[in-house]
């Protein structure tokens, strides 16, 4: 039986590549995005279903998962990939409350709504894999966009904290942390600058192949760095142990 795969932010970039990859494997793919034209085109390409989804709205997340289950009978893989950047900074010239709230709404609250909608449905179908797109900014530093970095750290915390509770229900929860990827979010001048520095850009299709491999594995509660030409690299987090008082 073909797997059922839901991908948010799937009208372009990494999300579109993930949809195409799973479509090429014969999966039933549900493409979710606010971009109706782009999302419809990708869904048509993979012979899947497009559901217009504003991930900042809890009702849209619930409707997305309900539509996938109604169309295909259940869920096997959910990739919460939708995200944006440019949250500004904290100086006099770049502080913008509205921009900050928008980045938080999409990158953090949107993931929370997606988790709330998808996890019970995955468990009800006998288990499956849920993947969240974080970023290398979520395990390092991003001076150019600290608000974006905060949200990407946040989703890794969600993944690591939720994974143990859902493991017994057969649901694996992991995060991917892509590096520099050739997507529409990068302006042409940014691509020129990056390549001039001798840095490699990963192609979305390369990231998608890694995503598929991670969802097929048995690990849970992990975050994987994805860079051009490299296999997924699990992030090593410190093991925390409670200190005991003497005596």
Active centre residues (catalytic): 148
Task: Report the distance separating Cα 100 and Cα 91, nearest Å.
Answer: 13
User: Could you tell me the two tokens for 136?
Assistant: 């290398």
Q: With contact defined as beta carbons under 8 Å apart, do 64 and 32 qualify? A: yes
Q: Write the CA distances from 170 to 43, 130, 166, 174, integer angstroms.
A: 28, 11, 7, 13
Q: With contact defined as beta carbons under 8 Å apart, do 205 and 224 qualify? A: no
**Phi, psi for 89 (deg, rounded to 5):** -120, -150
Task: Report the distance separating Cα 193 and Cα 83, nearest Å.
Answer: 23
Sequence-ordered list of residues with C-beta below 8 angstroms from that of 171, at least 6 positions apart, any chain: 119, 122, 123, 127, 128, 129, 130, 220
């Amino acid at each position: 039986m073909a797997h059922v795969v839901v991908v948010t932010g799937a009208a372009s970039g990494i999300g579109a590549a993930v949809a195409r990859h799973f479509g090429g494997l014969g999966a039933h793919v549900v493409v979710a995005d606010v971009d109706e034209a782009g999302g419809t085109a990708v869904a048509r390409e993979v012979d899947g279903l497009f559901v217009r989804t504003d991930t900042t709205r809890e009702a849209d997340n619930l409707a997305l998962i309900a539509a996938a289950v109604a169309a295909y009978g259940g869920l096997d893989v959910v990739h919460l990939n939708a995200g944006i950047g440019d949250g500004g900074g904290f100086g006099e010239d770049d502080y913008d409350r509205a921009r900050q709230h928008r980045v938080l709404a999409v990158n953090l609250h949107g993931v929370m709504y997606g988790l709330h909608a998808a996890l019970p449905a995955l468990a009800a179908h006998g288990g499956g894999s849920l993947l969240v797109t974080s970023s290398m900014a979520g395990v390092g530093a991003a001076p150019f966009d600290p608000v974006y970095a905060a949200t990407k750290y946040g989703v890794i915390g969600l993944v690591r904290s939720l994974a143990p509770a859902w493991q017994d229900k057969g649901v694996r929860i992991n995060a991917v942390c892509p590096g520099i990827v050739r997507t529409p979010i990068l302006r042409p001048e940014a691509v020129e600058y990056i390549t001039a520095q001798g840095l490699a850009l990963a192609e979305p299709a390369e990231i998608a192949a890694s995503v598929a491999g991670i969802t097929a594995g048995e690990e849970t509660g992990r975050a994987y760095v994805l860079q051009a030409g490299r296999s997924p690299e699990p992030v090593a987090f410190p093991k925390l142990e409670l200190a005991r008082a003497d005596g």
